[in-house]
Amino acid sequence: MKSWMLAVIVACNVQLVHKSKSSQINYHNSMFTIFSSSSIQNLASHSGKMSLSTNCILSPYSEITKRLLADSSIPCYTQNYAHKSTYSEEAWHKARINPFLRFIHTVKWTPIPLGLGFAFIAFQQFRHVKKREIAKITSTKNPNELLASDFSVSMYTMLPLRAASRAWGWMLKRELPQPIRAPLLNLFISTYDCNIKEAVIEDINQYRSLGEFFGRQLKKEVRPIHPGKCLVSPADGQILHFGRIENGLIEQVKGITYSLKSFLGLKSLNPEEDLLITDDKYEKGLLMNKDNVLYHCVIYLAPGDYHKFHSPAEWSVHHRRHFHGELLSVCPGIVSWIAGLFNLNERVVYSGEWQHGFFSLTAVGATNVGSIKVYFDETLYTNRKKCKKGTCEEMHFEPPVNITERGQPFGEFNLGSTIVLIFEAPKDINFNIEVGQKIKYGELISFCNPHCAT
């Protein structure tokens, strides 16, 4: 530092205060160097400027002060200058020997970000609402009392869920940086209780993106296919509901149903024909054997489940119908809240025949699961930007796609979603599952012939 810089500091009447090394507690008990008026005049004469009468107070313990004085030939006079202490000597002595008081004195208060405060309030409100809804569900006897109003459903459908799902699909394809790859995947594994030891690749560092992790292949020995002429689970998940379809209505949850005709769609998609065909007539029209009945089974894939789905039986796929719709959540809580949820959501219906007659497998889209991939159907493109909700696209497979093995890979989701099976079978069929049961793909749902169970 040169003399002219000292002159600038003096002219600006700058006060530099540095915390004393001898006292880490009190900022006010410091030693200061005061330049006298004669020193200021000498400084002005050295720098060729007019004499200044402004005083400059500098701390002798500051590194800046030491450098200024070392680089200058100006004689300085020091004196002790003590500010008034707000604490007595006895109080400071206690603070020095008491570690708790010393800690409190050194604590620096930092303001909480506004967003963090709102997040905490939202979390508390979510806990309150969740407890209230659980209490409401356990206390009510009529399921219709739990259904959302038309206004609530309209507000829910106004959310940009389709755009959010496309953004999620884009993020799944991005390669994860190596430093955060393992921590992020380990967090997901611990949160959703994934069993990475079932995967062919157990080293999570080898999964370059979330998409690769969700589409991981499992070891064949961990998913044996149940032997015999039977219907097996197409995916890992939870059984939401199953049973017989009556009067053309599918039971969504206990006491709440939705239309089979609206779910699968009419063969001709003619609006005039829709008014003429009742639900009961539509159900009977699907049967190939009048002595059989229609059954359904709904399997929910949670985010932590294996995201691929497989064929539950040997059958031939004749037709595909793609319904453009919403991407509402299909978790059990939302399913019990919105009536006809599966008829609102985007879905892909594959229908054909198996040994007992009609058979269909439907992949239902959901929030962050706008992309549905089917391996033998390369023309399928879900969650498109320019598509009108409520419309439908059809495709006939000529020749039909023959699936010759149970457990054969069929397709995959980006994240957990729902598979709905609707099939024709004899009246005395027996299911080997329960509502709420966790099931793995390849496990038994029902024998095709009831006599095979023995």
In the residue annotation, 310 being an active-site residue is answered as: yes
In the residue annotation, 203 being an active-site residue is answered as: no
In the residue annotation, 417 being an active-site residue is answered as: yes
**351: helix, strand or coil:** strand
- Annotated active-site residue in 62, 236, 307, 351: 236
308-310/409-413 β-pairing: antiparallel
- Annotated active-site residue in 62, 371, 417, 446: 417
- Annotated active-site residue in 241, 310, 324, 356: 310
- Among all residues, which ones are annotated catalytic? 236, 310, 417
